[in-house]
Amino acid sequence: MFSLKSKSAVITGGGSGIGKAISLLFAQQGAHVHIIEVNNEAGASTVNEIKAAGGSALSHTCDVSKQQYVVALFNSIGVIDILINNAGIAHIGNVETTGQDDFEQVMNVNVKGAYNCLFAAVPLMKQKHGGVILNTASIAASVGLADRFAYSTSKGAIHAMTLSVARDYLNDNIRCNSISPARIHTPFVDGFIAKNYPGREDEIFEKLSKSQPIGRMGKPSEVAALALYLCSDEAGFVTGCDYPIDGGFITLNN
């Protein structure tokens, strides 16, 4: 079950965190993985890890907010069976403390970046009469998180995009779903804590972990396992859905 043998998977932001975990698992399951990263070293590192384990992967350096480069890259890849729209950035601030430049930067990467990849990938999927798209949303699309105005706005857009694409391409055999993680323990989280709470790293990590009803942060590998199911043939009857993976955050955190 859950074999991706002979399938081509494009994963944005595949050089670290959740994207890296998805890349490693998909390669393990037989996919030829194309990692799209703005950080060339991170992408290359994941590819080396995949190849060392006997998998197949390539890394492509690209800024997903630049449509002409995204389209050219996707056309050079050619056959795309799976698209994982995972690249994204975060921002701390409410509407009063979120400046125009910060807001536009989050929208350019999180929303326009996903749109650009959809714009490039869907025609290629239509040519081969099918494909699977998985967008990384967030619990921030469903609940109010303090000081996450721009980020929450962007992830709400990702959720709406998912529903729109799923509806529009039913007859083209293209499935589109999203996943909504809560806090996942990635290098980004460690870096965020170190930057914003120097000297209080252990305290803040514990506080953030316990904000999940299950009592801990999620693991990137756990998100990757859900992504694998949703992109596999076993999920052929699933489209237009968002899947929280949140340790009970949305429904139990009250």
Q: How far apart are CA 76 and CA 65, in angstroms?
A: 18
Q: What is the pLDDT of residue 78?
A: 96
Q: What is the pLDDT of residue 195?
A: 86
What is the residue extent of each domain of the chain? Answer: 8-182+220-245, 185-217
Higher pLDDT, 11 or 192: 11
Cβ neighbourhood burial of 33 (10 Å; 0-12, 13-18, 19+):
buried
Question: What does the mean pLDDT of the chain come to?
Answer: 96
197 in catalytic set? no
Give the pLDDT mean for 72-97: 96
Q: Is the pLDDT of residue 221 over 80?
A: yes
Taking CA atoms, 195 is separated from 9, 103, 191, 228, in Å, by 34, 20, 6, 33
Give the pLDDT mean for 120-141: 97
Q: What is the pLDDT of residue 27?
A: 98
In CATH, which superfamily holds the domain spanning 8-182+220-245? NAD(P)-binding Rossmann-like Domain (3.40.50.720)
**Catalytic position from the list 151, 169, 197, 229:** 151
Question: Considering the chain, what percentage of its residues have pLDDT values greater than 90?
Answer: 93
Position 188 confidence tier, pLDDT thresholds 50, 70, 90: confident
Q: What is the pLDDT of residue 254?
A: 61
Q: Return the ∠ at Cα 161 (arms to 160 and 164), rounded to 5°.
A: 90
